[in-house]
Every structure is written in structure tokens, then in C-alpha cells.
Structure 1
Amino acid sequence: MMEMKAVEGIAMGGDLTPPIPPLAFVLHDSALYSHCSACFSPLTFPPDGRPTILYCSSRCSSLDSPMHFSSAEAQLMYLILRSPLAAWSRSSDLRLSLRLLHAFQKFNLFPWKCEISPGGRGVKTGEKKGDPLEENNNFEVPDENIKNQDEQCGVMEISDPKDGVLERIAGLMTNRERLVFGKVENDPFPESGVETVLERIREGTKAIAAARMMYAGEEMCVKSLREYAVEEIVLCLVLTNAVEVQDRSGNSIGIAVYGATFSWINHSCSPNACYRFSFGLEDKDCMCLMISPTTSNNGHGNEMEDGAILGGGVGYGPRIIVRSIKAIEKGEEVTIAYTDLLQPKVMRQEELWLKYLFNCCCNRCSVLHSSYVDRALQMVSATNLCSTDKFYDHELYKDEEIKKLTEAFDEAISDYLSFCNPKLCCEKLEILLMCGNIEEENLKPKEEKLHQKLKFHQFHHLSINAYTTLASAYKVRGSDLLSVDSGTNENVLQAFCMYKTSAAYSLLLAGVLHHLFMFESSLVASVANFWTWAGESLLSLGGLSWWDQSLITEPVKLDIPPLLSIKCNDCSLSGVFEPNFKNGQDQTIWFQETKMLLLNCIANLTSSAWSMLSSESNFLKLIPDPIDFSWLETIDYLKVSHLESHISGERAGKFRSSLILLAIHCLRYGALLSRICYGFASPDNNIHV
């Protein structure tokens, strides 16, 4: 059992590690032509379409290109371009495996010889096959008639006492025994797709081996995996330990593998730490390591030594920093999340089993009855959620019902993401949110539609996904209307309504996530991002030139940048960011007081602006308040209000000013929460107008 514990007491929002360089890293295929492959910075020049990786400077090229060529990554990219197999729609895990394999060989971390040389492979499992290379047939499928699984998948019989490397390399778990040979007892998800992972390993191993053989000038024929256990082991290690690298906007642009200092941090669905990435070639932060390992290594005493060999990593690339999101006591285990915490328990468990083959037994998962947050994330009924004593796990949902709902939501979202039809997507999603059944809603008479019952719960994980999609889809609809003919007053008015509804869904999303955050503090990163998104949406709405064109009799120009430093009489908005504190207790008290002041202002501003923001959506009209959900305790039937959606003159000016003030509060609150996860020195770094 490997785990990391705090060497001393750590306050909330403190760095637990210095920036840790990766052992190896690569960009995703989709980012190869838009980002530097060494420092991951966006490229400012257009790519020429060549099948190679790109760098932003000669320095980055000198750092990374030797690894690119000596690891056979270039050969792999060439072979994939020639391959007709659809399986190679992504290659990042294979390219990362080649780079790691090269690093492991450099430090002699394998207990057997595995170099590639023109004279043949130096592996102890048999002689090299001498089959000729066939044109356009570089990867041959293993013989289906082979019944022996060891022959099919490749197993090395190693007599060396260091054969523990099959389980770990440099302290990192490979999971090969489970992923390849399926030695898993009591599989709780027999239809979860483990076979798909196995197929990826089999085909990926052949591709990695073929690239290495091509680099060595050998004939490339990979019929069997008997000789390629080295490649297979490292690919399994990558699939088990690789971390998605996200840029400053939260977009996944690559993957990386880090050493034992990070990789030994265990998972929890209610973690006390998170991690962030640091980009660029240099980092001035040289803080001490605040965590240390506690192991029960069953006799494999070389793991930390092997990890120390690679402790410096490659010396460049996306560095990772672990940070506390809760107060951690001395000797307490440090945990992070390996999966999306906004999924209900069953979805988290299935994802963790599929990728890592373990059952999570954290406090959130092991309680007798599901936590409030997990009940909310899978509650179908919209009534009485807040009366938690009335609910038991068996009341949450029926499998068939939720399966049909999931398919319906996925189909609606696909209309937007796959078929570029945001209008149809919005219509379907809002009907599903109100009644859970599109066909049933279409059969209702018009007069009955004036009285709706919220049948689908606002906190369900499908609802959260729907709000995210709707906020984006309505914004796209508004943009499309303006792009058709921005000079037409009717189009401008409709576009404004679309932007307004988009901002309303962003605000609802932030409110829902914040409600869940009050019961599960480990959701802080998600909540911070959604409050920032809501603030940006509201600020964009308030900054539209449409106000001056159509609403206000005498144009009123608002200079947006100075508004970012506006001072609120109720919460001293301009003084949000923390002063210097002598101890963690003072900082915690300040944080809680500042949080409550900002929330009170947000609640007050929202109550005056919500009716206008929600006036274009039948579903949003059923939400009395997107911040305070106490109304859920008594909700039954709600009459859809006929709210005034068009305002002009002085009222428009006041509404616009309140929107901007609300936006600034949302941005400041998002930045306050972000400090826990990211430690930003200034909230304005993430504000875009």
C-alpha cells in the first residue's frame, strides 16, 4: 500500500509540493499543431501541415527534439499516418509510452536487456521473427487460433529476483496483471468495457514495437506479442498513471506521467488536496516538500530509489503542484480525485474500476446511506430533496428510467455538439428538464402547459450537464443571429434574448454547484470555475453594444475596465484579496467572513435581476431563485409567469448597471475560491471582457 502523508499541519489553500517536473509528457494529437511540444505554450505562427511536432523557439527545440527522435516517436507518427486503422485516431498514450520507455532504459530500470539494435532484439523470450515487411500491412493481427493467453498477449519468464518490476517501475504501478491477463476477482462491472482497454493495449503494443524496430532499422513484422512485454508493460503503466494536462482555461491539451511523489497520492471522492499545472521553462518557486511516503511494499525495497533516479524528470514541460483544499493535520493522508466528483457514486465507481481496477472505499463512498450530494446528483423527483430524513437510497431512481433519461439527454446534446443544431438542442433539453419526457409534453394542451410541475430535479447530474450545454448553445444562437444580419433590429433583439438566457443558465449552474459545495467542500475547483463563467457571461451581456442601440433613449457609455475595481458598500468589494496573516486561523476566519459578504451581495443582486434574465425560457421561469434553493422544500405546481422581457429607457440603464455589479461580484467570488486551488495573486488574471 503506497500513500503520501503530510509531514506537518497544513492550512487550507497551501502548496504541499514544489513544482514537480514530469518523467515524460506529450501533447494530444489535436494540440500538436497549435501548441509547443516542449513548453505547451500556444503557437503564434500557423503550422505548415507537416507530420511532425512543433516548437515555439530554438531553445524548446533543443530541449525536446532529441527525446522526440531517440524515443522513436517520429517513427510512430509516420507509421500511424500510413496505417488505415481507425484505432489510431489518438496516439498520445502510445507516444508517451515511447518516451517513458526511453527514459527507463536510460536509467537501467528493467531487470532484463531490452535495447533495440540492428542485429536483433535483446529480449530473453525467443529469437526475432524474420517475416518480411508487407506493403501497407505493418501491423498484423495476432493469430486467433492461439488459445494460450500467455502466447497471445506476451509474458516474459524472468528468473531475475527483481521481477517485481512487472508490478512497478520507478515506484509506479503498471497494472499489467489486471489489464492484460484479467486476474480480477468479483468484477462489479462485467460490461464496463475492460475488453476495449485490452484491445487498445494489444494493438498499441504492436504499434510501439514496430516504431522501435523501424528506428533500429529492423524489418517490421509484429505478428505476436511474445517478444514485446517491455512495450506492453510501459503502455499499461501509462494508461494507469497518466494525468490529463490542462491549460489555464481548463482545456485538456496533453498527458504526462509524474514520479512517485505525485503518483503515490491516492484517490478519494472527498479529497483534501487538488493539483494545478505550471507552464514555461523556468519556475522560481523552490518551496519544500510537505508530504512524505508511507509504504508497505512487500519486500520491494528498490521502489523509492528507482523513483529518486527519475525524481528530476526531464527538467522541463508542464510541472504539477499539489495544493490543500482542506486543512490537513500532521500525519494525515493526502488525497486527490482521479475522476469527476460531480458524477454520482455508481458512475464514479465504474470509471475508477474501468481505468484503475479498484473499488473506492473513501468516506463519501463507504457510508451506509448515500451522502446528500450523491442523492442530489441522481435524484429524479424535484420535490422535498431538502427534507433529507425522508429519503433512502432505494428511492433515488429505477435503472430503466434513468437509462431512458440519459439516452434522451445525450441525444439532445448530440443535436448541438454533433449536428450543429443548437435551437433543437435547447428545445429538447428544456422539455426534458421540465417533464422528463418529450413525447408526453408534446401531447399536452396549451392551457395545461401554463401550469408545470418540476418533475426532474435541478441538482441531478444530467441537469448540470444540460445547464452547461444550454448556456453554450444559447450563446451560439445569439452569435449566429448577429452574424446573419446585425443591422436588423429584430435580429439584434432576438440575439440579446439568447445572450440573456445564456447568462441566466450560467448563473443557475453556479448556484446549483454552490449549493452542493456547501455540503461537499472538495467541489471547490468546479464551483470557482462556474462562478467565474457566470461572471464573464453577465459581464459580456452588460457590455453588449445593443443596449445603446435599442434600449436607452440617451446612450450611456459604460467604461467596463474601471468597473472591475468598483467598491461595494455592502462587502467592500475592492478589498477582497487577503492581507498578510500571522497564522492559518486568522486566514480561515477572514476567508469565511469575506465569502459570506460576497454571497449576500450576490443573493440580493440576483433577486432583483433574475426575473428579467429568466424571462425567455419556460424552464427558467419555474426557478424562483437560482441561488437560494429553500423553495424546493415546498414546491408543487408553479404557474409560469408572463414576465416582461423588453425594457427601455431609464429601467434598461438600471438593469444593465445591476447586471454588471452582479457580474463583478461573481468574478470576485470565483477568484476568491480559486485562490484555494490555484493561489492566484490577483483575481483580474482570469477576467476577460
Structure 2
Amino acid sequence: MEMRACEETAMSRDVTPGIAPLAVALHDSFLSSHCSSCFLQIPPSRFAAADSVDAGDHPPSCGGCAGLRYCSVECRNDDLDLHASSGECHFIRLVHFDRRDETTDLRAALRLLCSVRNLGFLPPRGEPRRISGLLAGGHEQLEEGCELWLRIREGRMLMSRAREMLRNQILEGEDVNDGCDGGGETEAALWVVITNGVEVQIGEGRAIGIGVYGPRFSWFNHSCSPNACYRFELHGSECFRCDRGSLVYPSSTGPEDDAMPLHHLSLKAYTALASIYRVRGRGDGGGDAVPGGPEMARAAAAYALLLAGTTHHLFLSDPSLMATAAHFWVNAGESFLSLTHCPTTGWINLPEFDTIFLPGESSLPWDEFRGTSFKFVDCVSRIASKVWADMVSGIRCLSEIKSPVDFRWLGEKNMPHESLGACGAPDSYSGEGRCVGCRCEVDDGVEDDSGTVRRLAVHCLVYGGYLATLCYGPRSHCVDRIRSLPTR
């Protein structure tokens, strides 16, 4: 869906505000190193001053349980009230001396209960079991004695006891009634967290916590911290039976749509396949070689580039997809970067790299932006043409795609009027032997596949960073992450 501004809006201004979560909680292993409010990592220098006499050198923390730390006094003040009023402080003190399993879901459930009660979203007793629009029923059908049933039962007891301690209704040595008092609410909240919680990543490439969002969350990231949102839409027409021995068409519902990469089913398939191959190619992280790992990494990179190319093609007709296109270009660049297995120092001149990310003007004419985009993508198309055939060798559905970024081979009827202008776009190379779009050195001579893949990775990263700069500004985390890659 395209968004149109009601008034003149400067470039690099985020017009899609962040979606506030109902509840978030850090994983136990990150409680001591990350801020429990904004989820950002606390600088190690703050911990190095632990022996300092000056208390101001220490990271702010909760004085009641000392279990949560914050990067600033402001973050502590923003979070401490919810931490205390939810019973999380008492909960951490309960489990502090008892080495239990991960407690992230239990702490998130306590915060969720407190948040929805403050917002007035907690349903009365007897009403359909929904909390803030999220389905909270169904756990009653769990098989008694199964792992999940035991987890909910134990969690209910701990959460109820922490809430009773908060209300000062427990005397020393008194029985807590197995947490059954008010256990229905705690069970429902814990089930909401288990079934609706999503992982939260703040640019570290790993999940550092979980978050629970309301029913209005969507699949794209709104650049809010912490934030992780997804939507899944399933329709019966997408599931069909394949005849034995017939070709599989992941991008269509039949042979007549074969090799149609712009179909909405294709985009869903590319997203899933790129993620699956990337994860399988990395293995379990133990350092052991994964059987077929290089082939899986190669397939992941090919799907990532095709996904970036198709998203860019749609973006030319719908500018609201700019942030999504930036995300996929960066993913493609990182996927190709992982294939090289070598340092990238010296690929690109950092001062000139910064000039791309710092356009200097808050607004950019559409024609100028479109021309720059065409130059970048033309550069990527030229480089990709040298390695694409080898990349997709053995992958039947990809081998039928002639180019992952230039879709003129599909015919004029499948091309929007904007992208047809690419045929007349200025050449991407200047007379000085440099790429106009990304200012990289151009080598038209003989280059091995490894060098070509490295150059392709750089172009994808630079163009993704260029789009990210226009979306979020030159000082966003996404841009900083890309800028750090060439110097690693």
C-alpha cells in the first residue's frame, strides 16, 4: 500500500512511527550486559569502573533485586515503575538463589499482565479468553504431564507467588496455595507470551529478548527499539497437490506461471528459502563443517539477490517499499560477503563511501534519486551476469531466471513504466574507470569468481546503505553496521 504525504516531508524522516510493544523482556543471559529498557548493550567501560568509589560510574540498576541494569538514569526511570508494579522485582528475588530454566517468558508475562491492566485491556472473568485482542485460551487442551504443561504450571506458581508478595499478602512461612489464587490470569498471560511472543534483535544478529505486540503489528520493521513484528496470511489456494514426478514451482501455482519471480507467492517463497539455506549453511555454530554447507550458502546468496532484485523492481512503482528494499539489499550483500571467507579491507574508499551516505541535502529530487538507483542496479546487473549461472547451477527453479535484478527479459507487459526508463539510463561507468553510482574502481579485465563475488557484495551493501540513509538518516544503526563491514 502506497503512502502519500499530506504535506512536504523532508528526506530521511521516518514517517512510519514505531509500534510500542505490550511487554518486552531480556533473555536471562543478557540481563547483566544490556539495558532492560531500550535493550541496547551497556558500554563495557561502565563495568570496568565497578571498583570505583564514585557510584555515578556504575550502570544504574534496580535497588530492590539488583537483577536489572540500565544504560542511563532516564531508562531506569522509564522502566522501574513497570518492573516494580508487575511483581518482576519480587520474581527475580524468588529465583535468584534457585538455578532454574530460562525465565524470559515468565517475566514478560508479568509485565504483560501489568500493562494490560493499566490500559484497561484485561477482560473480566467469564469473558472469551483474549488479552488485548490476543488469544489467551487453548492451553487447557494440553496433555497433562507434557513439557509445556509442566512449564505453564510451574510458571503460574512462581508468578502468582511473586504477585502475592507484591501485595504483601504472604507471611513468612505461609503456604502459597500452589499459586492457584488468581492462577487463571497468570496462565492466560503466560500462554499469550508463548504463542504470540516474537524475538527481539537490535542489530547484533542474535535474539536478545522477546516482545509481545498487539493485533495491529505488521511484517516490516518500523525502526523502533525494541521491535520485531510479523504478519502471516494463509489462503487455501496456496496449498495444492503436486503430481508425482512433476516439477515443483515454488514461485507459482502451476507450469503456466513458471519462472515468474514477481508473483506474490514467489516473494514469500524466496524469503523462506533464503532464510532456510542461510541457517542450514551456517550449521549449529560449533565450528564443524556442515555437509553441503558451501552449496547451501551459495543458494542462500542467490535467493537473497533475487529477492533484493524483485523488491527493487516493485519499489520503482511503489516508493513506500524503500525501507523493505534497503533491508533486502543489505541481506544480499551480507550473504555474498559470507561466501568470500576473506577480509574486505580496501574494497572501498571510506571517505567516498561516506559521501554516498551523507548526501548533504534533506531533500532529493525524484529524478536524481531514480537516476542514481538505475546506475547502482545496472552496476549490480553487469557484475551478477558474470557469476549468476554458476551461482544457480543445480537449482532448477533459479536456473530459468536469466537475471536476478534486470527483469526486462520478462517482456514489456510485466514491466512498470518507471522501470522501462532504465533502458535509457546513463551508463554506470564514468570516463575515469569508476562506477558513478558507488564510486568503486571498475576492472573490465579478467577477474576470478571470488573477486567478482566480493565486488557484488560491496555493491549490494552500498546500495542498501544508500536507501537506508534516505529512510532513517546517516546515523542510523543500519547504516553504521554497513559502514563497519569494509573495515573488519
**Alignment TM-score > 0.5, same fold:** yes
User: Which residue is 2:128 aligned to?
Assistant: 182
Q: Distance in 2 between matches of 1:275 and 1:434?
A: 30
Describe the superposition over 1:57-115 as per-residue Cα deviations: whole angstroms up to 9, x where unpaired.
897998677975675314335668999x99977224323247659xxxxxxxxxxxxxx
Specify the structure having the higher radius of gyration (Cα).
Answer: 1
Structure 2 residue runs without a partner (length 5+)? 48-64, 142-148, 413-443
Against the structure 1 CA distance between its residues 21 and 671, is the aligned structure 2 distance closer, same or farther, given a 3 Å change threshold? same
Against the structure 1 CA distance between its residues 58 and 11, is the aligned structure 2 distance closer, same or farther, given a 3 Å change threshold? closer
Q: Distance in 2 between matches of 1:175 and 1:268?
A: 17
Q: Distance in 1 between matches of 2:209 and 2:285?
A: 30
| CA positional deviation for 1:269 | 6.8
Against the structure 1 CA distance between its residues 196 and 13, is the aligned structure 2 distance closer, same or farther, given a 3 Å change threshold? farther
Task: Percent identity, please.
Answer: 27
Q: Which letter maps to 1:562?
A: G
TM-score by length of 1: 0.45
- Report SS of the residue matched to 1:560: coil
TM-score by length of 2: 0.60
Contact 2:392 2:398 survives alignment (8 Å): yes
Contact 1:525 1:673 survives alignment (8 Å): yes
User: Which residue is 1:340 aligned to?
Assistant: 230
- Report SS of the residue matched to 2:208: strand
User: Which residue is 1:685 aligned to?
Assistant: 481
1:476 pairs, out of 282, 293, 317, with: 282
Q: Distance in 1 between matches of 2:76 and 2:12?
A: 37
User: Which residue is 1:212 aligned to?
Assistant: 163
- Report SS of the residue matched to 1:276: coil
User: Which residue is 1:503 aligned to?
Assistant: 301
User: Which residue is 1:527 aligned to?
Assistant: 325
Q: Distance in 2 between matches of 1:514 and 1:178?
A: 48
- Report SS of the residue matched to 1:90: helix
| CA positional deviation for 1:14 | 0.8
Q: Which letter maps to 1:564?
A: I
Q: Which letter maps to 2:457?
A: A
Q: Distance in 2 between matches of 1:31 and 1:7?
A: 43
Contact 2:387 2:453 survives alignment (8 Å): yes
Against the structure 1 CA distance between its residues 540 and 29, is the aligned structure 2 distance closer, same or farther, given a 3 Å change threshold? same
- Report SS of the residue matched to 1:529: helix
- Report SS of the residue matched to 2:34: coil
Describe the superposition over 1:418-464 as per-residue Cα deviations: whole angstroms up to 9, x where unpaired.
xxxxxxxxxxxx96748989xxxxxxxxxxxxxx9875864425412
Contact 2:274 2:299 survives alignment (8 Å): no
Against the structure 1 CA distance between its residues 617 and 477, is the aligned structure 2 distance closer, same or farther, given a 3 Å change threshold? farther
Deviates more, 1:31-40 or 1:606-615: 31-40
User: Which residue is 2:203 aligned to?
Assistant: 248
Q: Which letter maps to 1:607?
A: S
Deviates more, 1:245-254 or 1:659-668: 245-254
Q: Distance in 1 between matches of 2:200 and 2:295?
A: 36
2:345 pairs, out of 561, 566, 571, with: 561
Describe the superposition over 1:350-379 as per-residue Cα deviations: whole angstroms up to 9, x where unpaired.
xxxxxxxxxxxxxxxxxxxxxxxxxxxxxx
Contact 1:512 1:627 survives alignment (8 Å): yes
Q: Which letter maps to 2:164?
A: M
Q: Which letter maps to 1:539?
A: L
User: Which residue is 2:462 aligned to?
Assistant: 668
Contact 2:278 2:300 survives alignment (8 Å): yes
The residue correspondences of 1:171-570 to structure 2 (distance < 5 A) are: 172=119, 174-177=120-123, 181-182=127-128, 195-196=137-138, 208-215=159-166, 216-218=168-170, 220-221=176-177, 223=180, 225=182, 245-249=200-204, 251-254=206-209, 274-277=222-225, 340=230, 343=232, 346-347=233-234, 399=236, 402=239, 433=250, 455=258, 458=261, 459=263, 460=265, 462-473=268-279, 475-476=281-282, 483-484=288-289, 497-544=295-342, 560-565=344-349
Q: Distance in 1 between matches of 2:15 and 2:455?
A: 36
Q: Distance in 2 between matches of 1:32 and 1:88?
A: 11
User: Which residue is 1:142 aligned to?
Assistant: none
Contact 2:129 2:136 survives alignment (8 Å): no
Q: Distance in 2 between matches of 1:543 and 1:53?
A: 40
Q: Distance in 2 between matches of 1:254 and 1:543?
A: 30
Contact 1:501 1:614 survives alignment (8 Å): yes
Q: Distance in 2 between matches of 1:533 and 1:89?
A: 29
Contact 1:72 1:98 survives alignment (8 Å): no
Q: Distance in 1 between matches of 2:276 and 2:129?
A: 43
1:603 and 2:377 are equivalent in the alignment: no
Contact 1:602 1:665 survives alignment (8 Å): yes
User: Which residue is 1:409 aligned to?
Assistant: none
User: Which residue is 1:615 aligned to?
Assistant: 393
Contact 1:478 1:495 survives alignment (8 Å): no
| CA positional deviation for 1:212 | 2.0
1:576 and 2:360 are equivalent in the alignment: no
User: Which residue is 2:90 aligned to?
Assistant: 75
Q: Which letter maps to 2:389?
A: S
Structure 1 residue runs without a partner (length 5+)? 46-50, 102-165, 278-317, 321-337, 348-397, 406-429, 438-451, 486-490, 545-558, 635-649
Q: Distance in 1 between matches of 2:125 and 2:383?
A: 53
- Report SS of the residue matched to 1:40: coil
Q: Distance in 1 between matches of 2:197 and 2:224?
A: 15
Q: Count matched residues.
A: 402
Against the structure 1 CA distance between its residues 18 and 526, is the aligned structure 2 distance closer, same or farther, given a 3 Å change threshold? closer
Describe the superposition over 1:615-673 as per-residue Cα deviations: whole angstroms up to 9, x where unpaired.
24333323222113344569xxxxxxxxxxxxxxx998443333222211100111112
Contact 1:434 1:453 survives alignment (8 Å): no
Contact 1:13 1:677 survives alignment (8 Å): yes
Q: Distance in 1 between matches of 2:324 and 2:224?
A: 13
Against the structure 1 CA distance between its residues 194 and 684, is the aligned structure 2 distance closer, same or farther, given a 3 Å change threshold? closer
User: Which residue is 2:110 aligned to?
Assistant: 95
| CA positional deviation for 1:540 | 3.3
- Report SS of the residue matched to 2:357: coil
| CA positional deviation for 1:611 | 1.1
Contact 2:273 2:300 survives alignment (8 Å): no
User: Which residue is 1:10 aligned to?
Assistant: 9
Q: Which letter maps to 1:340?
A: Y
Describe the superposition over 1:547-599 as per-residue Cα deviations: whole angstroms up to 9, x where unpaired.
xxxxxxxxxxxx732212289xxxx9774234333x63x45444333222211
| CA positional deviation for 1:509 | 2.5
